[in-house]
Each structure stands twice: as structure tokens, then as C-alpha cells.
Amino acid sequence: MPRRRGLSAAPTGTRRYVAYRRVSELMGRGGDDFHSPDIQLAAIHRMAKPAGLEEVGPPVDDIDRTGRDFSRDGIDQVRRMAAAGQIDVLAVYKVDRFGRNVLESLQLLAELAAQGVTIMSATEQIDTSTPSGRWMLTNLLAIAEMQSDEIGRGWSNTIARRAEKGHHHGRPLGYLRVNKRLMPAPTLGPAITELFRRYAAGDPIGEVTEYLAAIRGKTMHTANVKKLLRNRAYLGHVVTGDDVLPGEHEPLTDEVTWRRVQARLAAEAGTPPRHLAPTWSLVGLVECPQGHKLQRQGDRLVCGHGRGDVKGGTCPGVGRPVLARVEAEVLRQVAAWAAELRTDHHARARRLARLAVARVDRATLERQMTDARAGMVNLVKERALRRVPEPVYRQALAELRASEQAAASQLARLGPAIREPDPEAAAGAADSLLALWGDAEVTHAERVRALRSIVGRIVVRSAARWREPEHDRVDVQFYL
């Protein structure tokens, strides 16, 4: 195998160069006005040969990277090559390929110049080894930044106009663009719907992420999946700036599932990983009377904010109850609650009354959301026909959006709808939980998920007397 030529091996007196290429987005673009990486490299080679330059390495690329940001892998590589004395010239197709930010471009230019590296442009005849070349480069960088600002402003206006017509800009995962309209993808569309359903049902975020990654055939991070779950495009909306408008594309999830997903995301924001991947059966449910989540220390529970548990804590704490005893008392109260549902007519009546009130509140809020969305649709249509002045349109849209968000927030606080007020079904769920708890093959995550389906919180108070037993200090609060 022939010996590989090192980057520093250049004849004496020959200036060494490396070609730098940058494209903001490839996206299958073409045509005479598109400066593809191949076009850029060919022009650089045509410039370098008569100038007596020798290429000492493969081209350095920043593909799909904006010129406004200098935190680029290609620029970092150029810095390393300059610091190592491997190049004398950085060759670019045009100055705007180097960057569209005057301040950072000049700072990098000064850094390269201090290391003896100059910039040469293949199409603008610029050589920063001369005073006129440096002056010309400064002006061209200013023009490139101005053009970048104009391009950004134009795209913002285009996106806003498309949103007013109900057209989503871009293509969220799970959609295909057919005739300039978003359509659900055959495989990923149902997968996104299932993703929302699983997360709303309480599946751990890690398992949900693994499911979507398996469908895509690509690794994914939980943070990216959470970002996807917050995308209102899957609800059939179009977002532009602060405005949320009705879109023309088909939603991939429904209102109830969306609200449950958003409520869970809000509840889990900042939640420690031990709660999302539980290692014991009551994690995230058991707390002190002040609302602080209890932590496990060995075989006991402690309040992390308690005066006796954390130095400087202000909470009275709960002492150090034994976890196994608290767990046994929780299961006893679950069994008693199930028996009460089957036999106590007063308990049934109270439950039916609560459900009736909840149904009335939910129906009112859902009607408010429907009216607000219908109003936004009509308003957008009137705006498209130029029947509504811009100030009136903006004010009315803001009011309708505030009404929709207020109703959605109250619906989220109500929690998931209970479709059938059946005490027998609730008691059956409790029996299933008790049977599940006794199965050694069941994981802690499955136990927590089953317990959350009927239990809102478990409160453990501190002992009121010496050696007060745990079963007198535990209060299980049920949803129903």
C-alpha cells in the first residue's frame, strides 16, 4: 500500500490550501442558481491551478449548516489545520460560503491571519493577503449578512401567509407532502397516533421512545420524542409565531389524548429519572402532607425537605416509616375501597354525583373550545377575502386563542374523562391491581402504572405519638 502523503508535505515556496464548502440545505435542490458542493469545488480547483496553490487535503464541508452560526464542524477543522500550520490558504467559492455574520467572520479572519492563513474566493477574485482584498472582503461580508437578513424576513412572511391559509410549513414526522399538502404517511402516521396513545396511557417515556425508534429504524432520544409530543401540528393546527391557527391537514391524535399527553408532560417536567423509570413500587405517588415526594433510603421512606432528613429543611417530615409496611397499608386500603364500591350505596351515590358534575363542566369547556376554533376558521376565511382589517383580525384572533387555551387548561385540570360510572368496573380494576401486585414477574413500572389508574396520591404523615404504626399514618386518596 503506498505511503499516504502528509498534509505538511508541500514543495518549498508553494502555498498549501484546503477547499471549504458550505450549503445551507441540500433538500434535493438543483438548477443554475444552486451552488452545489460539486460546483463550488470545481470553481475552487479552476482558481487554484493558475495561482500555483497545492491542495493538501480533502475538502472541508459544512452541509446543511447556516452561515450565521460559526459553531460548525467544518470551521472547527479549519481552525485546527491553521493552528497546526498545515495550510496557508483557505479557498472558498464565494465569501458568503465562509459566513453571513460580519462580526464573527472578521474575528475568524483575524485569527487565521495571525496564523499566516489567507482567504481566497474563486468567483470574487479576493485575496486577503493584500490590503485591497481585506477591504473588499469586509464589504462583501456585510452584503452577505444583509442578504441573509432579507432571506429570513422573506421566509417569515411566506410562512405567515401559508399559515393563514391553513398550510403547515415543513413536514412533521408521520406526514408526507402530496401536491403541496400534508398527508399521513402509511407507516409512520399510525405510529405517531399510537405514540400519543401509549404516552397518554402512562407508558414510560423510554419504552415509547424505543417503540418509535423501532418503527423508524433509527435511534432516538427521549428529549426529541417529548418535543414531538408537544408539536401542535399533530392536532391539526398550524403555528406561526405566537399564533395557533386551524390547519388543512388531517390530525394524527384527538383532543382528549392531546390534553392527557400535555398534562403528563407538564407534570413530569423536571421529574427525576428515578420516577420515570421506577425502582420501587410507590415512587412518585407517596408524599408528605406538605406535598413533597418521599424518597427511599434503604428499606425506609424519608421526606427530602424534612428538618430531620436534610440540613436546613423546613418541612416537619414524616420520620422514617418502613416502606414495606406503607405498601401493605396501601394495598389494604385498595381492597377496602373495592369492597365499599360493591356494597356501599352511599359511596355509589357520591361517585355518581361527582361524575355528573364533571360531565357538565367538561361539556361546557369542550363547547367553548369548539366555538373558539370555529370562530378562528371563520376569521381566517374572512381575512383571506380581505374583509377584516389587520388590527381587527389580530385582536379577534388573540381573543379566540385565549378562550381556547383557557378551556384547554381547565380541561387538563379535570383529568381524563370517565366514560362509564360503573362501581363494579372500578372494583374490578382494584382486584386486578391486587393480583398484579402479587406476581413476582411484574416490574415496578407496571405496578406504578396500575396503581396510578385508581390512586391520585398517597399521603404519609409524621407520627403523632411514640412508635405510632404506619397503618395509622397512611391515607390513600382515590380518583373516584
pLDDT for residue 7 is more than 60:
no
pLDDT digits (tens, 9 = 90+) for 145-171: 555 555 445 445 554 455 455 455 567
126 membership: H or E segment, kind and range = strand 126-127
**Sheet strands (E) in 11-108:** 15-23, 53-55, 60-63, 89-92
The amino acid at residue 72 is R
Report the alpha-carbon distance of residue 449 to residue 204 in Å, rounded. Answer: 9
Domain locations in the chain?
A: 15-158, 175-270, 286-344+424-478, 347-421
Radius of gyration of the chain (CA): 32
For residues 80-90, give the mean pLDDT: 89
More confident residue, 3 or 213: 213
Given this model, what pLDDT does residue 422 score?
A: 64
Rounded to an integer, what distance in angstroms lies between the CA atom of residue 424 and that of residue 429? 9
Residue 456 confidence (pLDDT): 83
**pLDDT number for residue 400:** 80
Q: What is the pLDDT of residue 417?
A: 52
Q: How far is CA 332 from CA 8, 110, 273, 476, in A?
A: 78, 74, 29, 10
Q: What is the mean pLDDT of the chain?
A: 75
- Model-level pTM? 0.39
Mean pLDDT of 245-258: 81
pLDDT, tens digit (0-9, with 9 covering 90-100), for 327-385: 999 999 999 988 887 776 566 666 666 666 666 677 787 888 788 777 777 776 676 66
pLDDT of residue 182: 78
Residues 431, 332: contact at Cβ < 8 Å?
no
* Cα–Cα distance for residue pair 18/85, rounded to 1 Å: 12
Q: Find the mean pLDDT for residues 432-437.
A: 84
pLDDT band for position 31 (cuts 50, 70, 90): very low
CATH annotation of 175-270: 3.90.1750.20
Q: What is the mean pLDDT of residues 232-242?
A: 73
CA distance 365 to 405: 10
Read off the amino acid at residue 400. L
Please return the burial class of 141, using the count of CB atoms within 10 Å of its CB with bins 0-12, 13-18 and 19+. buried
DSSP label of 471: G
* 460 pLDDT higher than 90: yes
Percent of the chain having pLDDT more than 90? 8
Predicted pLDDT of residue 121:
78
pLDDT score recorded for residue 345: 58
CATH code assigned to 15-158: 3.40.50.1390
- Decide: 252 and 189 in contact? Cβ < 8 Å: yes
Count CA atoms closer than 13 A to 262's CA, side-chain side.
20
| Average pLDDT rounded to a whole number, residues 131-154 | 56
CA 201 to the chain's CA centroid: 19
CA 93 to chain centre: 36
Tell the residue number behind the cell numbers 434503604, with chain if given: 298
Q: Is the pLDDT of residue 292 over 50?
A: yes
- Strand bridging mode 474-478 / 455-460: antiparallel
**Residue 322: pLDDT over 90:** yes
pLDDT band per the 50, 70, 90 thresholds, residue 284: confident
In this prediction, residue 327 carries a pLDDT of 92
**Separation between Cα atoms, residue 285 and residue 51, nearest integer Å:** 73
Name the pLDDT band for 137 (thresholds 50, 70, 90).
Answer: low
State the pLDDT at residue 323. Answer: 92
Q: Pick the residue with more confidence: 268 or 106?
A: 268
